[in-house]
Amino acid sequence: MENNTNYFEICGDRGSGDYQITEYINGEARLLYTVHGMKQGGLKEARQLIGRYLTKNHQPNNNQKYLHITKKPGRVNNPSHQWVIEEYLNGVPLSK
């Protein structure tokens, strides 16, 4: 990612159930949360933590999209998504 881009990174996998949620602001990383041992629902919980963080620490705009990258150790192409806060709070994308 570019150094002037703000985004979130979720790093982990279902096998361990461990996920780290990091916020990047202008290239500076800050670990926000760690989810431990959630082999079922861990990724969803990580997304919901981002939603609660955005609601608490930013002035949310319901239409503003926030970028997150989901990194799995050993995977080359890690997907990125832009979601609105409601999607983060639900932990899944809204149906289209």
For the segment 2-26, what is each residue's pLDDT rounded down to a tens digit? Answer: 444 799 999 999 999 999 999 999 9
Whether residue 96 lies inside any domain: the answer is: no
Whether residue 2 lies inside any domain: the answer is: no
Whether residue 64 lies inside any domain: the answer is: yes
Work out how many domains the chain is built from and give that number.
Answer: 1
* Distance in angstroms (rounded) separating the CA atoms of residues 63 and 4: 22
Q: Where are the beta strands (DSSP E) in the chain?
A: 7-13, 18-25, 28-35, 66-71, 80-83
Whether residue 23 lies inside any domain: the answer is: yes
Whether residue 17 lies inside any domain: the answer is: yes
Q: Which domain holds residue 57?
A: 7-90
Whether residue 95 lies inside any domain: the answer is: no
- What pLDDT score does 46 carry? 97
For the segment 12-68, what is each residue's pLDDT rounded down to a tens digit? Answer: 999 999 999 999 999 999 999 999 999 999 999 999 999 999 999 877 677 889 999
Whether residue 1 lies inside any domain: the answer is: no
